[in-house]
Chain A
Amino acid sequence: MSLAIHPATSEYLSLIRRKRLYGGILVALFAVLLASGFRVADDRNAGGFFEGFHRILDFPTEIFSEAATNWRNLPGLFVQFIPSLIETLNIAAVSTLFGALLASLLAFLSTRGLALWPRMIPVFRTSMDIMRAVPEIVIALVLIFLLGGGPVPAMIAIAFHTTGALGKLFSEAAENADIKPVEGLTSVGGNWMQRVWLGVFPQVAPNWSSYALLRFEINIRASAILGFVGSGGIGYDLKTALQWGQGKYDQVVAIFTLLLITISIVDHFSDRARARLVKGGNSA
C-alpha cells in the first residue's frame, strides 16, 4: 500500500469541495426563492393563505353532512347515474384507443434510429407538442360549437390530446429499446414496417400498454370534466348537482363514489394486465 498521498486524491477532494459549494449555494437560492415566491403569491390572493386555511374543510364537511342525512337516497342514486357513467367510460375508452393507435404511429416516425424519414422527425415532434399544448376543453368547446353538444366532440378532443401525450411517452420508450433485434431483422432484408412491428413492438409493448392504461384513467377524469361544458356523461350530472347546490349534495357524493370505484377497478385490472404482459412479453 502506498503511504504517500496520490495526486488524484487531492484532485478529487477539491472537486468534491467545489461540488458541495455549488450544491449549497443552489439549495440556499432555492429556499430564498421559495419563501419570497410564497409571499408574492399570498399577496396576490383575494383572501389570504393563513386567514383562509382553517376554512379549507368547510365545503367538504357541508357536502358530507348533507349526504349523511340523506344517506337513504344513495343506492338509488348509484343506479340512476350508472348510464351516464357508462357514457363517460365509453368516451374515455374510445378516445384512448384512437389516441394510442395514432400515437404509436407518430412515435415510430419520430424516434431517432427508427424513423422512416429521419429528416421529418422535427415535424412529427412539433405536431405532437401542439396536440399536447392545446387543452382538451378548448378543443371540445370549439367542436361543440361546430358539431353541437354530445359525446363525439368530447371523444375527438380527448383523443387529440391523448395522441400528443402518449406519442411522446411511446417515443421515449422506443428510444430506449434494444437496437440489436432491429439490426438482426435488417440483416435478413426486412422492410421498415417489419422491423418496427417485429423488432421493436414486442420490446415496447408492456411499457406502452402500461402508459395507455394510465392514460385511460386520466381520460376518465377528463371525460367527466368535459361533461361540464356540455358533452354529456357523468360530468353533466355532477355540474347540475353542484350548481344548484341546496339539497343535491347527496348526488355529488354518489357521483364521486362511483368515479372512485370505477378508477379503482380500472387500476386493479390494468395492474393485472400489465403484470401479465411483462411476464409473457418475451414470448410475444
Chain B
Amino acid sequence: MKLQVINVSKIYGDRAAVDDVSFTLEGDGFVGVIGRSGAGKSTLLRMLNRLTDASRGEIRYEGTDILSLRGAERRAWQNRCAMVFQQFNLVPRMDVASNVLHGLLGQRSTLTTLFNLWSEADITRALEILDRLGIAEQAAKRAEALSGGQQQRVAIARALMQDPRIILADEPIASLDPMNAQIVMETLKRIQTEDGRMVIANLHTLDTARRYCDRVIGMRDGRVVFDGTPEQLTAGVARDIYGADATFSEAATSTSIDALNPDTDYAVAMLGD
C-alpha cells in the first residue's frame, strides 16, 4: 500500500489552512500528526477522506489520484478509508449495532439500508466487532446512552465494519478522560498491528504520539515542519512544532498545549515569582 500526498494545499479566503504539504506513507503503521490547534491537521485528514475538497495538489493511493474521484468512485474511496472523529459522530438516537452497520452503507443497496434491513451475516459480523472491542453487551442500547469512551469504540467498530486499508482518526481522544483515552488508543493500536491496517491519527499530546506512533508528522501553520520517528522528536523539535519559547515544558503538553502559550506569562505575573 502506498499513499502519496503531493503538494496539497487548502485555501480558505486568503489564508492557507494546509500549505503545500507533501509526504509518502508505505506499508502499514501508526502515523501521528501533531501540531497546535489550527495547524491544519484536521483539514489534512478531512481532505484524505474527501470530506473537504483540496484547493491544489494530488493525493495518490496505489497510483490513483483520489482528489479527482467523483460521485460513486468518491464514495467507494470513502468506504475504503474510514474516519473516526473527535466527537464520535454517531447517530445518537439509533442503537449501537445499527451505528456499526452504517459502516456498510457504501456496499449495500440504498433501499435496504434506509429500512435498516441488514442480513443476519452482517449483523453477526457487527456484533463480532463489538465483542472484539469489548462492548457487545451494549449492542441494543441507543448510542447516546453510552459514555464517551464507549461511543468512541462504537465509532471505531463502525470504521472496522468498512474493513478499510486506512483508518483516519481526527483527535480521537481529545474529548475523553485519561483512562478512556488510553483504552481508545490501545484499541486503535491493536487494530493497526493485528489487522495490518494503516492508522493516521491527529494527536494533541506529545507523549501519546511517542507512545503509539511509528512515525510522526509535525505541522505548523499548515506546513510540515517535522517528519520522522518518535525518537527524533526531541524537546527542541517539539518547541519548533508548537512555536513555543524556552519556557515550553514537556509535562504541560500531556494535557493541553493550547492553554500553555498565552498563559505562562500571566501565571508568572499572578504568582509573583
Genuine A/B complex:
yes
B49 → chain A closest CB, angstroms = 26
Query: Per a CB cutoff under 8 Å, which of A2, A15, A16 touches B131?
Result: A2
Complex: how many Å from CA A11 to CA B130?
14
Residue from A2, A5, A6, A20 with most neighbouring chain B CB atoms (10 Å): A6
Any chain A CB within 8 A of the CB of B124?
yes
Interface size class of A (residues with CB under 8 A): 10 to 19
Complex: how many Å from CA A3 to CA B123?
15
Complex: how many Å from CA A11 to CA B139?
9
Chain B residues, Cβ within 8 Å of A5: 124
Complex: how many Å from CA A173 to CA B44?
37
Any chain A CB within 8 A of the CB of B140?
yes
Any chain B CB within 8 A of the CB of A1?
yes
Would B132 and A8 count as touching, CB distance under 8 A?
no
Would A2 and B140 count as touching, CB distance under 8 A?
no
Interface 1/0s, chain B 126-157, versus A by CB < 8 A? 01101110001101100000000000000000
Chain A residues, Cβ within 8 Å of B124: 5, 9, 13
Q: Which residue of A lies closest to B125 (CB)?
A: A9
Complex: how many Å from CA A12 to CA B141?
10
Chain B residues, Cβ within 8 Å of A13: 120, 123-124
Complex: how many Å from CA A11 to CA B128?
13
Any chain A CB within 8 A of the CB of B199?
no
A267 → chain B closest CB, angstroms = 31
Query: A1 and B128 in contact (CB under 8 A), knowing A8-B137, A9-B136?
Result: yes
B15 → chain A closest CB, angstroms = 20
Complex: how many Å from CA A6 to CA B132?
10
Residue from B130, B131, B140 with most neighbouring chain A CB atoms (10 Å): B131
Would A8 and B120 count as touching, CB distance under 8 A?
no
Q: Which residue of A lies closest to B120 (CB)?
A: A13
Interface 1/0s, chain A 31-51, versus B by CB < 8 A? 000000000000000000000
Complex: how many Å from CA A15 to CA B140?
8
- Interface secondary structure of B, over-half rule: helix
Q: Which residue of B lies closest to A7 (CB)?
A: B136
A197 → chain B closest CB, angstroms = 31
Complex: how many Å from CA A113 to CA B97?
34
Q: Which residue of B lies closest to A19 (CB)?
A: B116
Would A12 and B131 count as touching, CB distance under 8 A?
no
Complex: how many Å from CA A13 to CA B140?
10
Chain A residues, Cβ within 8 Å of B136: 6, 8-9
Complex: how many Å from CA A67 to CA B226?
76
B158 → chain A closest CB, angstroms = 16
Q: Which residue of A lies closest to B123 (CB)?
A: A13
Would B128 and A2 count as touching, CB distance under 8 A?
yes
Complex: how many Å from CA A218 to CA B124?
51
Would B97 and A12 count as touching, CB distance under 8 A?
yes
Complex: how many Å from CA A12 to CA B135?
13
Q: Which of A4-28 contact B (CB under 8 A)?
A: 5-6, 8-9, 11-13, 15-16, 20
Complex: how many Å from CA A15 to CA B141?
12
Chain B residues, Cβ within 8 Å of A15: 140
A sample of 14 more A-B contacts (CB under 8 A), given A2-B131, A20-B117, is A2-B132, A6-B127, A8-B130, A8-B131, A9-B123, A9-B127, A9-B128, A9-B131, A9-B136, A12-B97, A12-B127, A13-B124, A15-B140, A16-B123
Interface residues of B, Cβ cutoff 8 Å to A: 97, 117-118, 120, 123-124, 127-128, 130-132, 136-137, 139-140
A-B CB proximity, top 8 nearest: A9-B127, A8-B136, A6-B131, A12-B139, A6-B136, A8-B139, A1-B132, A8-B137
29 A–B contacts, CB within 8 A, in A order: A1-B128, A1-B132, A2-B128, A2-B131, A2-B132, A5-B124, A6-B127, A6-B128, A6-B136, A8-B127, A8-B130, A8-B131, A8-B136, A8-B139, A9-B123, A9-B127, A9-B128, A9-B139, A11-B140, A12-B123, A12-B127, A12-B140, A13-B120, A13-B123, A13-B124, A15-B140, A16-B118, A16-B123, A20-B117
